[in-house]
Structure 1
Amino acid sequence: MLLHLVHETRYAYSPTVESAHHMLHLKPASHAGQQLLRHQVTINPQPARLQERTDVYGNTRSYFSLHTPHDRLTVVADSIVSTLALAAAPEDAPAGLPWEQVREQFRYHAGAAYDSACEFIFASPYIPRDEAFAEFARPSFTPGRPLPEAAQDLMERIHSGMVYDSESTEVGTQALEALQLGKGVCQDFAHIMVACCRAMGVPARYVSGYLLTTPAPGQPRLIGSDASHAWASVYCPVESEAGGLALAEDQSPGVWLDFDPTNNRAPGEDYVTLATGRDFLDVSPMRGVIRGGARHVLDVAVTMTPIDKLPELN
């Protein structure tokens, strides 16, 4: 599927902002399930400095600074992405190791090989450690159950047990508060699933992106914010033919399987990944520090449209 994405962020400030420094996560990733074909960011007023880097999790992030007074700021990210059904969708994954074996792999053992997925076991700013997550997760993580199957069941239970309510939480709501409320938005559903997996000793990460909410004829409309979407990704080690873990040089010995508890399905070609991290704070589309502008009005608009071919360059 060929998708055209336009993500526009507009700020109106009062009083005037004297200077500002911002960071963006608005450049779609390229991986097995998608390829970024074109990307352009337009910023008004023109920044004094614009720099692009790769963060520790492999995401592309951009920094820009403004040193002239301004009462309005507009950032438009225009991207074209080619997507495929994800190669590692849960229903296509190998049966997988029992979840207890995965948990044991990530417990400390002297001389154990390093696995980069271990970074996604620990608590993070929006996802604290709490017994409430383990209690919620246990009915899915029954003894000997393969990890992909346990994660699938957990996704289904979050979907059925939580209420999607766009007015119930805010961008700074932590996973525990959303779990206690029993409702939230896609960010909260994803945070809760990540928190539950980590509580059981299984690495899980937060994924930010978009989904095509306008369905094909005869298909149901998906649930998600018009501005952005979020889901969870669970790490599933792969066993080699020799019976041990399939270690590959400079790679994690396993696959990341994506689960969307908001819509109770595996993300496919109608999803676009922006970035992955420990939680929302690692991958927020835009954040920064300003001097001045005590009050502001924020407006975010996203359009995601299927197209037949790449448009001609001007």
Structure 2
Amino acid sequence: MRYQLRHTTHYDYSGSVTLSHNEARLLPRELPWQRCSNSELTITPVAVRQRERVDFFGNRVVYFSIQELHDSLDVTVRSNLTTLPRPLPDQRVSLSWEQALRELAIGAHRVSSTQSLENMRARLFALDSPFVQQSLDLVDYSRRFFTRDRPLVEAVLELNQAIFNEFTYDPEFTTLATPLQMVLESRRGVCQDFAHLAIGCLRSLGLAARYISGYMETLPPPGQEKLLGADASHAWLSAYIPGWGWLDIDPTNGSVPDERYITLGWGRDFADVTPLKGVMNGGGEHQLQVAVDVIPVPPERKNPPE
């Protein structure tokens, strides 16, 4: 699939801002199944300082500073992307979730092989993080999927489907401050909550999982045109399968991400991949507007031979 991505963030401030320092994690990653070209970040007012770096997790981060008086801020990213089919585990990937726990433990004490090194790196994603803390309630919820000697991949996919079937998508119910325990008890939330919930379930069992931010191509209702700016940011997660790699799952839709998904970045939870954050002098109250477009690009037509 080929896409044109456009993401615009607009802030209106009730008072003037005299100085702001910001970080944007809005540029898509280069991955074996995702190729980016012509990525461009436009900032208004024009930043006096701007530079790009790669953070601890390998995400692209743009730092910028604005030092002129302003009462609004616009940050727009445009990028052309090509997405390819992602690798999926086959029937040969049959290790149980208990075996996965043992593999992660080995990685903590021995780095004599590439696989042990990968296991050791994955252990970071088995620990608590700002938005995801392990709990016995999460263990209790997960135990019916992670039964004795059950293959890890099979259990992960059933957890993914269960959250989709048992939880209600409700954008009015939660905020960034809503505890994970409340999401579990109420059975309501949004994609960010469901990603954190699944991560919490896996980590509470001792497994490794990471949070992924990005986009998914959405389709308009039948017979209607797609509205500009009607798409939205999306969140899902990836579970670590020792000896194979990271398996993406999307509990909001009960699916395994495919070519319709665009990856921005990943980390322990939302705090590591916040799209735009910073500090400023002044500004007062603010209003935020976000518009996202994920536009499919038709395949190039080849002229028939004459």
Determine if the alignment matches structure 1 residue 154 to structure 2 residue 159. yes
Question: What does the per-residue CA deviation read over 1:194-240, in whole Å, with 9 as the maximum and x for residues that have no partner?
Answer: 1100111110000000000116979xx9xxx93200001000012xx
Give 2:259's aligned residue.
269
SS of the residue 2:231 aligns to: coil
Determine if the alignment matches structure 1 residue 15 to structure 2 residue 52. no
**Correspondence for 1:106 among 96, 104, 107:** 104
Kindly indicate whether the alpha-carbon contact (under 8 Å) linking 2:134 and 2:201 is maintained by their aligned counterparts in 1: no
Give 1:244's aligned residue.
none
SS of the residue 2:185 aligns to: helix
Give 2:270's aligned residue.
280
Give 2:54's aligned residue.
54
Structure 1 pair 51/141, CA: closer, same or farther in 2 (3 Å)? Answer: same
Determine if the alignment matches structure 1 residue 178 to structure 2 residue 176. no
Q: Distance in 2 between matches of 1:11 and 1:148?
A: 42
Q: Distance in 1 between matches of 2:86 and 2:289?
A: 32
SS of the residue 1:107 aligns to: helix
Give 2:246's aligned residue.
256
Give 2:149's aligned residue.
144
SS of the residue 1:106 aligns to: helix
Quote the offset at 1:176 in angstroms: 2.5
**Correspondence for 2:280 among 272, 290, 302:** 290
Q: What letter matches 2:47 in structure 1?
A: P
Quote the offset at 1:170 in angstroms: 1.1
Quote the offset at 1:174 in angstroms: 3.5
Quote the offset at 1:110 in angstroms: 7.6
Quote the offset at 1:294 in angstroms: 1.5
C-alpha RMSD of the superposition: 2.0
Give 2:304's aligned residue.
none
Question: Which aligned pairs between 1:57-72 and structure 2 lie closer than 5 A?
Answer: 57-72=57-72
Q: TM-score scaled to structure 1, two decimals?
A: 0.87
Runs of 4+ displaced beyond 6 Å? 215-218
Kindly indicate whether the alpha-carbon contact (under 8 Å) linking 2:23 and 2:63 is maintained by their aligned counterparts in 1: yes
Determine if the alignment matches structure 1 residue 164 to structure 2 residue 169. yes
Q: Distance in 2 between matches of 1:84 and 1:21?
A: 36
Question: What does the per-residue CA deviation read over 1:107-135, in whole Å, with 9 as the maximum and x for residues that have no partner?
Answer: 37884224211110000000012111111
Q: Distance in 2 between matches of 1:201 and 1:54?
A: 28
Q: Distance in 2 between matches of 1:80 and 1:41?
A: 12
Question: What does the per-residue CA deviation read over 1:154-204, in whole Å, with 9 as the maximum and x for residues that have no partner?
Answer: 011111111101111113334223222210000001000011001111100
Kindly indicate whether the alpha-carbon contact (under 8 Å) linking 1:10 and 1:73 is maintained by their aligned counterparts in 2: yes
Q: Distance in 2 between matches of 1:14 and 1:266?
A: 43
Kindly indicate whether the alpha-carbon contact (under 8 Å) linking 1:259 and 1:265 is maintained by their aligned counterparts in 2: yes
Structure 1 pair 217/94, CA: closer, same or farther in 2 (3 Å)? Answer: farther
173-182 vs 9-18, which deviates more? 173-182
Give 1:81's aligned residue.
81
Percent sequence identity is 41
SS of the residue 2:153 aligns to: helix
Kindly indicate whether the alpha-carbon contact (under 8 Å) linking 1:126 and 1:173 is maintained by their aligned counterparts in 2: no
Q: What letter matches 1:44 in structure 2?
A: T
Q: Distance in 1 between matches of 2:56 and 2:155?
A: 29
Q: What letter matches 2:170 in structure 1?
A: D
Higher helix share: 2
Q: TM-score scaled to structure 2, two decimals?
A: 0.89
- Return 5+ residue gaps in structure 1 as ranges: 239-253
Q: Distance in 1 between matches of 2:149 and 2:98?
A: 7
Quote the offset at 1:96 in angstroms: 3.0
Kindly indicate whether the alpha-carbon contact (under 8 Å) linking 1:187 and 1:280 is maintained by their aligned counterparts in 2: yes
Kindly indicate whether the alpha-carbon contact (under 8 Å) linking 2:9 and 2:76 is maintained by their aligned counterparts in 1: yes
Q: What letter matches 2:186 in structure 1?
A: L
- Return 5+ residue gaps in structure 2 as ranges: 112-116, 301-306
203-212 vs 98-107, which deviates more? 98-107
